Structure 1
Amino acid sequence: MIKGVLPMASQKEIAQRFQARMERQSVLTGDRPLQMWAIVDEAALRRQVGGAQVMREQARHLLRLLEEPNVTFQVIPFEKGAHVGMTGSFVHMDFPDVDDPELVYLDTPAGDLFLESEVEIRRYRLMFEHLQAVALGPNDSADLLARVTEARG
């Protein structure tokens, strides 16, 4: 997936980005797992990257994660049409420690961006609320993911 999005990336950069993604996944399990609320477009479930077997394994892994109380997952189905998330993905991070500022992370072709101003945070918080409103609920989202996984065999 990294090579498809960043075709000019070196093997070293691909390996670094892969390692960072794997480390980010590890914070969802363990003694003090982080809370995660993910909203994805249905296209992310259906676009085949890495082959059918890879997609099945990823979907099954995600279905297992959805059983965890700290993971909330929603899907925006195709029939909802255009939505505010179509401009690109973002990660809104909020921390329990008041000394850690709330921020938004953007992974762009120009590099990683961290937004910290109140105006930017407010904009992305509002975008997330709009995405929550247009997306299927968590149970219906898990059902859609399971149907897509079953269709792949």
Structure 2
Amino acid sequence: MDSAGSVSFFTNHHPALDDEEIEGRVVARMERQKLHTRRPAADIGFVLELHPLTRPTGGHQVCKEQLRHILDVAQLRNVQIQVMAPDRTTHAGLNGPFVLLETAERIRLAYVRTVADVQRMLRLLPDVPVDPVELESLLAVVATSWR
């Protein structure tokens, strides 16, 4: 998402954010996005829910740009994007967010609230990523539905 899309996203935040807070969050988001293309390359994976990708938060044009950005990032060799099927009855993120990290030494770390959350998360993560061609087709269908 570019800075204009980020501003639109944060402008719709509830409770409302002041201009300084919006600017700070946009700058932080843009800095995090540099991780996608840094050298040495970070191995990055995202698991996204389909439903938020279909909600035109910020307007249809902003969302089309965001979908294009997701597709661009998905083309990077070091990035894997998985989309959670909407008919799944459960998944690893239902109890809140989590972060998985792997160090340069291949040590795997997870930040969650409890050990049980780690066990549940590892059992429920989707094991087959959406193929980039499938992802592009899926997001193109979503974007064209906003005409």
What is the TM-score normalised by the length of structure 1? Answer: 0.72
Counterpart for residue 102 of structure 1 = 109
Distance 1:37 1:9, change over 3 A: same
**Does structure 1 conserve the Cα–Cα contact (< 8 Å) formed by 2:110 and 2:118?**
no
Identity %: 27
Q: Deviations over 1:66-117 (max 9, x none)?
A: 111111011112222343323333332222158x98352xxxxxxxxxx6x9
- Residue pairs, 1:52-67, within 5 angstroms: 52-67=60-75
Deviates more, 1:1-10 or 1:18-27: 1-10
Rounded Cα–Cα distance in structure 2 between residues aligned with 1:41 and 1:30: 26
Are 1:137 and 2:145 counterparts?
no
- Provide the C-alpha distance between the structure 2 equivalents of 1:129 and 1:36, rounded to a whole number of angstroms: 19
TM-score of the pair, normalised by structure 2: 0.74
Structure 2 residues not aligned, in runs of 5+:
1-8
Q: Please give the root-mean-square deviation of Cα atoms over the aligned residues, in Å.
A: 2.8
With over 3 angstroms needed to count, the CA separation of the structure-2 counterparts of 1:101 and 1:30, relative to structure 1, is: closer
1:49 matches 2:57: yes
Count of paired positions = 137
Contact 1:94 1:102 in 2 (8 A): yes
Q: How does 1:108-127 map to 2 (within 5 A)?
A: 120=115, 123-124=117-118, 126-127=120-121
